[in-house]
A and B are shown apart, each in its own frame.
Chain A
Protein backbone atom coordinates (compact mmCIF):
# COMPACT_ATOMS: atom_id res chain seq x y z
CA UNK A 1 0.00 0.00 0.00
CA UNK A 2 1.13 3.50 -0.73
CA UNK A 3 2.04 5.76 2.13
CA UNK A 4 -0.12 8.64 0.95
CA UNK A 5 -3.24 6.49 1.24
CA UNK A 6 -2.86 6.53 5.01
CA UNK A 7 -4.38 10.02 5.06
CA UNK A 8 -8.03 9.52 5.92
CA UNK A 9 -10.59 11.08 3.64
CA UNK A 10 -14.17 12.08 4.22
CA UNK A 11 -17.04 11.57 1.80
CA UNK A 12 -16.65 14.90 0.04
CA UNK A 13 -12.92 14.47 -0.48
CA UNK A 14 -13.34 10.92 -1.69
CA UNK A 15 -15.97 11.87 -4.26
CA UNK A 16 -13.92 14.87 -5.42
CA UNK A 17 -10.83 12.79 -6.05
CA UNK A 18 -12.90 10.17 -7.85
CA UNK A 19 -14.63 12.82 -9.96
CA UNK A 20 -11.27 14.20 -11.03
CA UNK A 21 -10.08 10.71 -11.90
CA UNK A 22 -13.11 10.22 -14.13
CA UNK A 23 -12.51 13.36 -16.18
CA UNK A 24 -12.70 12.74 -19.89
CA UNK A 25 -15.53 10.26 -19.56
CA UNK A 26 -19.03 11.04 -20.77
CA UNK A 27 -20.97 13.26 -18.40
CA UNK A 28 -23.82 10.80 -17.96
CA UNK A 29 -21.49 7.93 -17.22
CA UNK A 30 -19.53 9.98 -14.71
CA UNK A 31 -22.69 11.02 -12.90
CA UNK A 32 -23.88 7.45 -12.83
CA UNK A 33 -20.62 6.17 -11.36
CA UNK A 34 -20.50 8.87 -8.69
CA UNK A 35 -24.11 8.10 -7.77
CA UNK A 36 -23.13 4.47 -7.01
CA UNK A 37 -20.64 5.74 -4.44
CA UNK A 38 -22.97 8.37 -3.02
CA UNK A 39 -25.54 5.65 -2.40
CA UNK A 40 -22.83 3.46 -0.88
CA UNK A 41 -21.99 6.25 1.57
CA UNK A 42 -25.65 6.80 2.41
CA UNK A 43 -26.16 3.09 3.13
CA UNK A 44 -23.00 2.92 5.23
CA UNK A 45 -23.96 5.96 7.29
CA UNK A 46 -27.40 4.48 7.86
CA UNK A 47 -25.65 1.39 9.29
CA UNK A 48 -23.76 3.64 11.68
CA UNK A 49 -20.40 3.69 9.91
CA UNK A 50 -18.41 6.92 9.86
CA UNK A 51 -17.53 8.59 6.54
CA UNK A 52 -13.86 8.04 7.27
CA UNK A 53 -14.29 4.33 7.90
CA UNK A 54 -16.34 3.92 4.72
CA UNK A 55 -13.59 5.68 2.76
CA UNK A 56 -10.98 3.43 4.28
CA UNK A 57 -12.90 0.30 3.30
CA UNK A 58 -13.54 1.59 -0.21
CA UNK A 59 -9.83 2.12 -0.89
CA UNK A 60 -8.04 4.76 -2.91
CA UNK A 61 -10.44 6.85 -5.04
CA UNK A 62 -7.58 7.61 -7.39
CA UNK A 63 -7.06 3.92 -8.11
CA UNK A 64 -10.79 3.35 -8.48
CA UNK A 65 -10.96 6.19 -11.01
CA UNK A 66 -8.13 4.66 -13.01
CA UNK A 67 -9.89 1.32 -12.99
CA UNK A 68 -13.08 2.82 -14.47
CA UNK A 69 -11.12 4.74 -17.05
CA UNK A 70 -9.14 1.71 -18.18
CA UNK A 71 -12.37 -0.32 -18.34
CA UNK A 72 -14.17 2.26 -20.42
CA UNK A 73 -11.28 3.08 -22.76
CA UNK A 74 -10.66 -0.60 -23.51
CA UNK A 75 -14.35 -0.96 -24.26
CA UNK A 76 -14.22 2.06 -26.56
CA UNK A 77 -11.20 0.66 -28.44
CA UNK A 78 -13.05 -2.63 -28.80
CA UNK A 79 -16.11 -0.97 -30.36
CA UNK A 80 -14.44 1.72 -32.47
CA UNK A 81 -11.28 0.44 -34.05
CA UNK A 82 -8.66 3.18 -34.27
CA UNK A 83 -5.00 3.68 -33.46
CA UNK A 84 -5.88 6.57 -31.19
CA UNK A 85 -8.33 4.47 -29.17
CA UNK A 86 -6.01 1.52 -28.71
CA UNK A 87 -3.18 3.83 -27.61
CA UNK A 88 -5.48 5.50 -25.06
CA UNK A 89 -6.51 2.07 -23.76
CA UNK A 90 -2.88 0.98 -23.47
CA UNK A 91 -1.90 4.18 -21.69
CA UNK A 92 -4.78 3.78 -19.23
CA UNK A 93 -3.70 0.21 -18.54
CA UNK A 94 -0.15 1.32 -17.94
CA UNK A 95 -1.49 4.03 -15.61
CA UNK A 96 -2.80 1.27 -13.36
CA UNK A 97 0.69 0.34 -12.22
CA UNK A 98 4.38 0.22 -12.98
CA UNK A 99 4.24 -3.54 -13.24
CA UNK A 100 1.99 -3.16 -16.26
CA UNK A 101 4.63 -1.40 -18.32
CA UNK A 102 6.45 -4.68 -18.75
CA UNK A 103 3.29 -6.73 -19.15
CA UNK A 104 1.47 -4.42 -21.53
CA UNK A 105 4.02 -2.38 -23.40
CA UNK A 106 6.58 -5.14 -23.95
CA UNK A 107 4.45 -7.57 -25.96
CA UNK A 108 2.76 -4.71 -27.79
CA UNK A 109 6.03 -3.15 -28.98
CA UNK A 110 7.26 -6.57 -30.05
CA UNK A 111 4.20 -7.14 -32.21
CA UNK A 112 4.41 -3.60 -33.55
CA UNK A 113 7.97 -4.31 -34.71
CA UNK A 114 6.81 -7.42 -36.57
CA UNK A 115 4.04 -5.46 -38.31
CA UNK A 116 6.40 -2.67 -39.38
CA UNK A 117 8.84 -5.25 -40.75
CA UNK A 118 6.07 -6.93 -42.76
CA UNK A 119 4.87 -3.67 -44.30
CA UNK A 120 8.44 -2.58 -45.08
CA UNK A 121 9.03 -5.92 -46.83
CA UNK A 122 5.87 -5.64 -48.90
CA UNK A 123 6.64 -2.06 -49.94
CA UNK A 124 10.17 -3.04 -50.93
CA UNK A 125 8.86 -5.98 -53.00
CA UNK A 126 6.24 -3.88 -54.81
CA UNK A 127 8.71 -1.08 -55.51
CA UNK A 128 11.38 -3.34 -56.92
CA UNK A 129 8.76 -5.23 -58.95
CA UNK A 130 7.45 -2.01 -60.46
CA UNK A 131 10.96 -0.79 -61.27
CA UNK A 132 11.88 -4.04 -62.96
CA UNK A 133 8.60 -4.04 -64.91
CA UNK A 134 8.98 -0.44 -66.11
CA UNK A 135 12.58 -1.06 -66.86
CA UNK A 136 11.97 -4.07 -69.05
CA UNK A 137 8.75 -3.06 -70.80
CA UNK A 138 8.53 0.71 -71.03
CA UNK A 139 12.20 1.58 -71.22
CA UNK A 140 13.84 -1.15 -73.25
CA UNK A 141 17.27 0.36 -72.95
CA UNK A 142 17.42 -0.01 -69.25
CA UNK A 143 19.28 2.04 -66.73
CA UNK A 144 19.36 -0.81 -64.26
CA UNK A 145 21.46 -2.89 -66.57
CA UNK A 146 24.42 -2.70 -64.28
CA UNK A 147 22.54 -3.74 -61.17
CA UNK A 148 20.67 -6.80 -62.33
CA UNK A 149 22.10 -10.18 -63.31
CA UNK A 150 22.80 -10.34 -66.99
CA UNK A 151 20.63 -13.36 -67.79
CA UNK A 152 17.53 -11.43 -66.70
CA UNK A 153 18.32 -8.57 -69.01
CA UNK A 154 18.88 -10.88 -71.95
CA UNK A 155 15.34 -12.17 -71.74
CA UNK A 156 12.69 -9.44 -71.38
CA UNK A 157 9.96 -12.05 -70.82
CA UNK A 158 11.65 -13.20 -67.65
CA UNK A 159 12.05 -9.60 -66.53
CA UNK A 160 8.37 -8.86 -67.03
CA UNK A 161 7.42 -12.05 -65.26
CA UNK A 162 9.79 -11.27 -62.36
CA UNK A 163 8.45 -7.72 -62.04
CA UNK A 164 4.83 -8.80 -62.00
CA UNK A 165 5.49 -11.63 -59.54
CA UNK A 166 7.32 -9.34 -57.14
CA UNK A 167 4.42 -6.87 -57.20
CA UNK A 168 1.93 -9.67 -56.62
CA UNK A 169 3.90 -11.16 -53.73
CA UNK A 170 4.32 -7.68 -52.27
CA UNK A 171 0.59 -6.98 -52.45
CA UNK A 172 -0.18 -10.37 -50.93
CA UNK A 173 2.14 -9.73 -48.00
CA UNK A 174 0.58 -6.28 -47.60
CA UNK A 175 -2.90 -7.78 -47.39
CA UNK A 176 -1.65 -10.38 -44.92
CA UNK A 177 -0.14 -7.53 -42.93
CA UNK A 178 -3.53 -5.82 -42.72
CA UNK A 179 -5.15 -9.02 -41.48
CA UNK A 180 -2.35 -9.42 -38.96
CA UNK A 181 -2.93 -5.85 -37.79
CA UNK A 182 -6.60 -6.55 -37.14
CA UNK A 183 -5.76 -9.73 -35.34
CA UNK A 184 -3.16 -7.97 -33.18
CA UNK A 185 -5.67 -5.22 -32.42
CA UNK A 186 -8.23 -7.66 -31.07
CA UNK A 187 -5.59 -9.70 -29.33
CA UNK A 188 -4.33 -6.54 -27.61
CA UNK A 189 -7.83 -5.73 -26.39
CA UNK A 190 -8.35 -9.24 -25.09
CA UNK A 191 -4.99 -9.06 -23.40
CA UNK A 192 -5.76 -5.69 -21.80
CA UNK A 193 -9.05 -7.07 -20.51
CA UNK A 194 -7.30 -10.08 -19.06
CA UNK A 195 -4.66 -7.83 -17.56
CA UNK A 196 -7.32 -5.66 -15.95
CA UNK A 197 -8.97 -8.71 -14.46
CA UNK A 198 -5.89 -10.34 -13.02
CA UNK A 199 -3.55 -7.59 -11.93
CA UNK A 200 -4.10 -5.48 -8.84
CA UNK A 201 -6.12 -6.48 -5.86
CA UNK A 202 -5.90 -4.50 -2.71
Chain B
Protein backbone atom coordinates (compact mmCIF):
# COMPACT_ATOMS: atom_id res chain seq x y z
CA UNK B 1 0.00 0.00 0.00
CA UNK B 2 1.12 3.52 -0.68
CA UNK B 3 3.20 4.77 2.25
CA UNK B 4 1.72 8.26 2.24
CA UNK B 5 -1.71 6.81 2.74
CA UNK B 6 -0.86 4.73 5.74
CA UNK B 7 -0.05 7.34 8.30
CA UNK B 8 -3.37 9.11 8.11
CA UNK B 9 -5.29 5.86 8.01
CA UNK B 10 -3.41 4.51 11.01
CA UNK B 11 -4.99 7.15 13.19
CA UNK B 12 -8.43 6.15 11.97
CA UNK B 13 -7.69 2.48 12.74
CA UNK B 14 -6.57 3.29 16.30
CA UNK B 15 -9.77 5.25 16.90
CA UNK B 16 -11.90 2.47 15.43
CA UNK B 17 -10.36 -0.21 17.64
CA UNK B 18 -10.66 1.86 20.81
CA UNK B 19 -14.26 2.76 20.01
CA UNK B 20 -15.09 -0.94 20.34
CA UNK B 21 -13.45 -1.19 23.74
CA UNK B 22 -10.39 -0.41 25.84
CA UNK B 23 -7.14 -1.99 24.73
CA UNK B 24 -3.60 -2.26 26.03
CA UNK B 25 -0.68 -1.26 23.82
CA UNK B 26 0.50 -4.65 22.63
CA UNK B 27 -3.04 -5.85 21.92
CA UNK B 28 -3.81 -2.74 19.90
CA UNK B 29 -0.59 -2.98 17.90
CA UNK B 30 -1.40 -6.60 17.07
CA UNK B 31 -4.95 -5.83 15.98
CA UNK B 32 -3.59 -3.32 13.51
CA UNK B 33 -0.60 -5.26 12.23
CA UNK B 34 -2.81 -8.30 11.61
CA UNK B 35 -4.49 -6.31 8.87
CA UNK B 36 -2.04 -3.66 7.76
CA UNK B 37 1.69 -3.96 7.21
CA UNK B 38 3.23 -1.21 9.28
CA UNK B 39 6.27 -0.51 11.45
CA UNK B 40 4.62 -1.43 14.74
CA UNK B 41 6.83 0.95 16.66
CA UNK B 42 5.17 3.98 15.09
CA UNK B 43 1.85 3.21 16.76
CA UNK B 44 3.14 4.14 20.24
CA UNK B 45 4.11 7.71 19.26
CA UNK B 46 0.64 8.07 17.76
CA UNK B 47 -1.02 6.80 20.95
CA UNK B 48 1.02 9.23 23.03
CA UNK B 49 0.13 12.17 20.79
CA UNK B 50 -3.59 11.41 20.75
CA UNK B 51 -3.56 10.90 24.52
CA UNK B 52 -1.87 14.27 24.98
CA UNK B 53 -4.47 15.87 22.77
CA UNK B 54 -7.15 14.53 25.10
CA UNK B 55 -8.69 11.93 22.80
CA UNK B 56 -7.64 8.98 24.96
CA UNK B 57 -6.98 8.40 28.63
CA UNK B 58 -4.82 5.64 30.08
CA UNK B 59 -4.96 3.41 33.15
CA UNK B 60 -2.73 0.64 34.43
CA UNK B 61 -3.93 -2.88 35.14
CA UNK B 62 -1.68 -5.33 36.98
CA UNK B 63 -1.15 -8.50 35.04
CA UNK B 64 -0.71 -11.85 36.79
CA UNK B 65 2.54 -12.50 34.95
CA UNK B 66 4.79 -9.88 33.48
CA UNK B 67 4.61 -6.10 33.69
CA UNK B 68 1.41 -4.06 34.25
CA UNK B 69 -0.60 -3.30 31.14
CA UNK B 70 -1.34 0.24 30.10
CA UNK B 71 -4.90 0.43 28.78
CA UNK B 72 -6.14 3.14 26.45
CA UNK B 73 -9.71 4.42 26.67
CA UNK B 74 -11.36 6.75 24.17
CA UNK B 75 -12.82 10.01 25.58
CA UNK B 76 -16.03 11.77 24.50
CA UNK B 77 -13.89 14.24 22.61
CA UNK B 78 -12.10 11.36 20.93
CA UNK B 79 -15.42 9.79 19.92
CA UNK B 80 -16.46 13.06 18.33
CA UNK B 81 -13.23 13.25 16.33
CA UNK B 82 -13.56 9.62 15.32
CA UNK B 83 -17.09 10.09 13.98
CA UNK B 84 -15.87 12.96 11.89
CA UNK B 85 -12.78 11.16 10.58
CA UNK B 86 -14.81 8.06 9.76
CA UNK B 87 -17.37 9.99 7.74
CA UNK B 88 -14.65 11.80 5.83
CA UNK B 89 -12.93 8.51 5.08
CA UNK B 90 -16.12 6.76 3.97
CA UNK B 91 -17.15 9.51 1.60
CA UNK B 92 -13.61 9.64 0.24
CA UNK B 93 -13.55 5.90 -0.42
CA UNK B 94 -17.00 6.06 -1.99
CA UNK B 95 -15.82 8.83 -4.30
CA UNK B 96 -12.71 6.95 -5.33
CA UNK B 97 -14.71 3.79 -5.97
CA UNK B 98 -17.09 5.69 -8.22
CA UNK B 99 -14.21 6.96 -10.29
CA UNK B 100 -12.54 3.55 -10.49
CA UNK B 101 -15.73 1.75 -11.47
CA UNK B 102 -16.50 4.31 -14.13
CA UNK B 103 -12.99 3.73 -15.49
CA UNK B 104 -13.65 -0.04 -15.64
CA UNK B 105 -16.93 0.41 -17.50
CA UNK B 106 -15.23 2.43 -20.19
CA UNK B 107 -12.76 -0.31 -21.01
A residues neighboring B (CB under 8 Å): 33, 36-40, 42-44, 46, 57-61, 63-64, 67-68, 71, 75, 197-202
How far is B43's CA from A71's CA once the two chains are assembled, in angstroms? 13
Q: Verify if B20 is at the interface (C-beta below 8 Å from A).
A: no
Interchain CB contact under 8 A, A39 and B70: yes
Given B8, B25, B39, which contacts A60 in the complex, CB threshold below 8 Å? Answer: B39
Interchain CB contact under 8 A, B26 and A44: yes
Residue contacts A-B, CB under 8 angstroms, 17 given = A33-B44, A40-B26, A40-B29, A46-B66, A59-B39, A59-B40, A59-B41, A59-B42, A60-B41, A63-B39, A63-B42, A75-B52, A197-B8, A201-B4, A201-B10, A201-B39, A202-B3
How far is B66's CA from A44's CA once the two chains are assembled, in angstroms? 11
| Residue in B closest to A67 when the chains form the complex, CB atoms | B45
How far is B42's CA from A60's CA once the two chains are assembled, in angstroms? 9
Interchain CB contact under 8 A, B40 and A57: yes
* Most chain B CB inside 10 Å of its own CB: which residue of A33, A39, A46, A197: A39
| Residue in A closest to B5 when the chains form the complex, CB atoms | A201
Q: Verify if B22 is at the interface (C-beta below 8 Å from A).
A: no
| Residue in A closest to B26 when the chains form the complex, CB atoms | A43
The distance from the CB of A80 to the nearest CB of chain B, in whole angstroms, is 15
Interchain CB contact under 8 A, A39 and B69: yes
Given A46-B65, A57-B33: A37 and B44 within 8 A (CB)? yes
The distance from the CB of B35 to the nearest CB of chain A, in whole angstroms, is 14
Chain B contacts for A197, CB-based, 8 A: 7-8, 11
The distance from the CB of B38 to the nearest CB of chain A, in whole angstroms, is 6
* CB interface residues, B 39-90, toward A, < 8 Å: 39-42, 44-45, 48-49, 52, 65-70
Given B8, B25, B42, B65, which contacts A36 in the complex, CB threshold below 8 Å? Answer: B25
Chain A contacts for B33, CB-based, 8 A: 57
Given A33-B48, A39-B70, A71-B45: A202 and B26 within 8 A (CB)? no
Given A44-B26, A75-B52, A201-B6: A36 and B39 within 8 A (CB)? no
How far is B52's CA from A43's CA once the two chains are assembled, in angstroms? 24
Chain B contacts for A33, CB-based, 8 A: 44, 48
Interchain CB contact under 8 A, B3 and A200: yes
Interchain CB contact under 8 A, A202 and B48: no
How far is B66's CA from A39's CA once the two chains are assembled, in angstroms? 8
Interchain CB contact under 8 A, B52 and A68: no
Chain A contacts for B105, CB-based, 8 A: none
Chain B contacts for A36, CB-based, 8 A: 25, 44, 48, 70
The distance from the CB of B104 to the nearest CB of chain A, in whole angstroms, is 27
| Residue in B closest to A57 when the chains form the complex, CB atoms | B40
Interchain CB contact under 8 A, A199 and B7: yes
How far is B10's CA from A199's CA once the two chains are assembled, in angstroms? 12
Interchain CB contact under 8 A, B8 and A202: no
